[in-house]
Amino acid sequence: MKELFTQWGRNLDSEHVLQEYPRPIMMRETHYEILNGWWEYAFTQNQKKPKQYDGKILVPFSPESVLSGVSRQLMPNEYLWYRTKIKCQEWDNKALQERLLLHFGAVDQSCKIWMNGHFVVSHVGGYLPFSCDISEYVHSGENELVIMVQDLSDTSYHAKGKQKLKRGGMYYTAQSGIWQTVWMEYVPQDRIKNVETKYIKTEKQKEKSTLNNCVNASEKVKIYIQTVSEQKDLTVQIDIRFPKIYANAEDNVTDFIALSHTITDVQKSISGRANTWIEVEIQNAKYWSCETPYLYYFHVSLIECEDETDKTDKKHVLDEVESYFAIRDFTIQQDEDHIPRIYLNKKKCFLKGVLDQGYWPDGLYTEPSEEAWIFDILEMKKIGFNMVRKHIKIEPQRWYYHCDRLGVIVWQDMVNGGEKYQSWFVTYLATVLSGLGITVKDHYSRLFARRSQKGRIEFINEVKETIQLLKKHPSICTWVIFNEGWGQFATQRITDMVRKIDSEHLIDSASGWFDQGTGDFQSIHNYFFPLKVKPEDVRAAVLSEYGGFTLEVEEHTASEKKYGYGGYKTKTEYQKVYRQLEYKIKKLEEQGLCGCVYTQWSDIEDEINGIYTYDREVNKLS
């Protein structure tokens, strides 16, 4: 393939790579250090620690990416080793009062970690963050961190997304190893572990009145502050700021100190017990929407009372964090014609979405910079999209933060796993059957590549972890459990499980092909047949994939092979057919269509069906 670079990749400062605070939904003032940068790496044929390393790799870019400085594929029978030195200042003096946590945004696919020769932890799963306490293994001065990675890619049942060792067509270059930010954080021994918020819908709000039309409305939210020890005798002080829209660049504040210095901007203060739900009433509520993405920042202080008989005067602050929430409500209700529609804050909301697979020509899974994300999101809104379907990939939390503050609705896919897919079944036959309105039950484990019991259990656990990680973000609207039958199984049971652990979000149980009659959506993929909609009584009808029109732009295409649907030679032809499709969608909306997802946001390798070229240089619609 031809090497393509984005403008951010060309201008990358390798000494200051992705330095933004990685956890915007729970910021802590205590000292932290981003460990991204040049590390040593080596490829080996066994699990024996190498005596010599092969060279330098730029973390967090995977070795397969050009920005890593390596450009080499990790094979399933190989091991990738990382080594770096980290400095801990005056750690011996702080050991009794603090702990040192090491955080990994994501490491694909399984890894083991050693600190100063001591084994610390192992982890399996290439898309979710994990942390480990390295307090017992470090000392003041220089410390050695070593990581061993193995990635079976598409040869195993593990989550894989669109990665394939033999890339081509709709499957892309397999990447491996560290691909999200690595950082360490000094934290108090007694500390806040997690922050959750819930919007409380009263009976009045459950009616079809429009929340946005409420003047001086009062709303209620619940806040849960979980601590490491889970003691209930710890007090929390919560200071909620007045709502604000943070869409302007100058308002892109994620630095804890800058936010804490605006503590005078407090609308509501309340105290309560840690590890219990605390109810808060919000006067003159401002609602989150794509047009007005109001966020409520709040400051949490974890307090230990020195005298149990005096809960107010003598207080010792153990920990402080900053978080945010929004007041918004996604539901499906029947409209005046008894057609199920999607409502945001009790207002009918047609979702005009685009499929985003999160690939970059220079960084693969890893964004070349934060500005690259912001560019994509703002361009989506400029074109007219109010929703993005994040396709079988989990992004770093900062991507969701930008969707929160910029006002873009997110449909989040679970990352697919399973054994080798039967293309004749999940691609070719499925397309024909869908055109005929025929589905297949999902209990055929061989056809759906889900024979491994371990793989099924792993998928269910990762679904739970994904929801726990991302449900706090106001932009999240829908969980997409399965896509086009890839590793699909027990759809009804998993849908029920998701509904039980998270009743606030909508569920697309099976996006495309193998509908099992459950979830909140009749979710249709249609690239080849005339577009039509047949509304059901309860589930909303969405065209969750369509389009895929191709247009090659010379000098901005990565592969000589081309993949997509309905090829066009000029921008004029491409734009004409795109506008015609928009007109058809508008007509279908009148007939009961509630949302659509155009394929796709950018070209990726062989696929030239993006609105933007792979390098984000050319907008084919302008």
Instruction: Give the Cα separation of 12 and 368 in Å (integer).
Output: 7
Please report which residue ranges of 438-517 form alpha helices under DSSP H. 453-470, 491-501
Are 604 and 172 in contact by the 8 Å Cβ rule? The answer is yes
Residue 606 lies in a domain: no
Which of residues 325, 349, 384 is at a domain's end? 325
Which of residues 153, 188, 223 is at a domain's end? 188
> Residue 210's pLDDT band (boundaries 50, 70, 90)?
low
Give the per-residue pLDDT at 592: 97
Tens digits of residue pLDDT in 471-498: 999 999 999 999 999 999 999 999 999 9
Instruction: Give the Cα separation of 514 and 422 in Å (integer).
Output: 14
Residue 418 lies in a domain: yes
Tens digits of residue pLDDT in 433-462: 988 889 899 999 999 999 999 999 999 999
Number of domains in the chain: 3
Mark whether 519 and 461 lie in a shared domain: yes
Report the candidate in 465, 385, 459, 377 with the shortest Cα–Cα distance to residue 418.
459
Mark whether 162 and 211 lie in a shared domain: no
Mark whether 149 and 177 lie in a shared domain: yes
Residue 617 lies in a domain: no
Mark whether 150 and 226 lie in a shared domain: no
Report the candidate in 187, 66, 70, 195 with the shortest Cα–Cα distance to residue 131.
187
Give the per-residue pLDDT at 92: 58
Paired tokens of 407: 């006002």
> Residue 173's pLDDT band (boundaries 50, 70, 90)?
very high
Please report which residue ranges of 4-96 form alpha helices under DSSP H. 7-10, 91-94
Give the per-residue pLDDT at 253: 56
Mark whether 223 and 307 lie in a shared domain: yes
The DSSP secondary-structure symbol of 426 reads I
Give me the chain's average pLDDT, please.
Answer: 92
pTM of the model: 0.94
Interval 371-382 mean pLDDT: 97
Residue 614 lies in a domain: no
pLDDT exceeds 90 at position 181: yes
Give the per-residue pLDDT at 29: 76
Can you give the CATH number for the domain in which 228 is found? 2.60.40
Give the per-residue pLDDT at 56: 98
Mark whether 162 and 275 lie in a shared domain: no
Mark whether 312 and 343 lie in a shared domain: no
> Residue 565's pLDDT band (boundaries 50, 70, 90)?
confident
Residue 17 lies in a domain: no
pLDDT exceeds 60 at position 212: no
Can you give the CATH number for the domain in which 125 is found? 2.60.120.260
Are 170 and 512 in contact by the 8 Å Cβ rule? The answer is no
Tens digits of residue pLDDT in 159-170: 999 999 999 999
Mark whether 516 and 595 lie in a shared domain: yes
Helix (H, G, I), strand (E, B) or coil at 573: helix
Interval 293-316 mean pLDDT: 78
Residue 194 lies in a domain: no
pLDDT exceeds 70 at position 259: no
Q: In the chain, what percentage of residues exceed pLDDT 70?
A: 92
**Each residue of 213-240: b (16+ CB within 10 Å) or e?**
ebeebebbbebbbebeeeeeebbbbbbb
Give the per-residue pLDDT at 413: 98
Which of residues 165, 188, 211 is at a domain's end? 188
Mark whether 78 and 155 lie in a shared domain: yes
pLDDT exceeds 70 at position 220: yes
Give the per-residue pLDDT at 310: 57
Residues 455, 463, 22: CA angle, nearest 5 degrees: 120
Give the per-residue pLDDT at 405: 95
Residues 235, 241, 247: CA angle, nearest 5 degrees: 135
Q: In the chain, what percentage of residues exceed pLDDT 90?
A: 85
pLDDT exceeds 70 at position 100: yes
Tens digits of residue pLDDT in 9-68: 999 999 999 999 999 999 997 789 999 999 999 999 999 999 999 999 999 999 999 999
Give the per-residue pLDDT at 89: 74
Residue 226 lies in a domain: yes
Give the per-residue pLDDT at 209: 54
Can you give the CATH number for the domain in which 334 is found? 3.20.20.80
Instruction: Give the Cα separation of 123 and 113 in Å (integer).
Output: 9
CB atoms within 10 A of CB 507: 20
Give the per-residue pLDDT at 515: 95
Mark whether 235 and 361 lie in a shared domain: no
> Residue 98's pLDDT band (boundaries 50, 70, 90)?
confident
Instruction: Give the Cα separation of 476 and 411 in Å (integer).
Output: 6
Identify the residue whose tokens are 């794509």: 290
Give the per-residue pLDDT at 91: 61
Give the per-residue pLDDT at 207: 55
Mark whether 579 and 506 lie in a shared domain: yes
Tens digits of residue pLDDT in 589-613: 999 999 999 999 999 999 999 999 9
pLDDT exceeds 90 at position 184: yes
- Domain holding 239, by residue range, is 202-325
Give the per-residue pLDDT at 362: 97
Mark whether 79 and 221 lie in a shared domain: no
Residue 44 lies in a domain: yes
